Amino acid sequence: MKHSLRRLTRTAAVAVAVAASGLAGCSRPEQLPDFSYTTLDGRRASSSALRGKVVLVNFWATSCASCVAEMPQMTATHQRFKARGFETVAVAMSYDPPARVADFAESRRLPFQVVIDNTGAIAKELGDVRVTPTTLLVDRQGRVVQRIVGEPDFGALNALIESLLLAG
């Protein structure tokens, strides 16, 4: 009886950990598709260059109060993990005026890649994103391990990032 209870407790703990990581119900996590983008500073890049890193892709808009409110925590998360193979890509939605995005990024001194999705192609490619904020967490193998619509629980998000970085 004790052995069965211990095994059940262990199984429940694993189930909770998997659910918390956003992998519950996913037999095969989706791969981050290949896409190209240009950062605010004019650098051309592609998602394939992010392979081997843990990546946070955040869809946002300057007109989204939740997006603006979460940016200091996005910055803190980026600063906390950037030296360990972590990258953040903030994708401004197609309806966001480019000058406003540039002003926001400059005034807030955003330390990560900021991209303006002028045509909406990136949002469409990454699951037809329409709601901001929407955040995708991608592991080193390029698999989307968590998709968050709305403001993330940054404590849980940082714990998951830590575990992905440790997993190598």
Q: Could you write out the three-class secondary structure of the chain?
A: CHHHHHHHHHHHHHHHHHHHCCCCCCCCCCECCCCEEEECCCCEEEHHHHCCCEEEEEEECCCCHHHHHHHHHHHHHHHHHHHHCEEEEEEECCCCCHHHHHHHHHHCCCCCEEEECCCCHHHHHCCCCCCCCEEEEECCCCEEEEEEECCCCHHHHHHHHHHHHHHC
Q: For each of the chain's 168 residues, which pLDDT tens digit applies?
A: 444 434 433 333 333 343 444 443 344 569 999 999 999 999 999 999 999 999 999 999 999 999 999 999 999 999 999 999 999 999 999 999 999 999 999 999 999 999 999 999 999 999 999 999 999 999 999 999 999 999 999 999 999 999 999 997
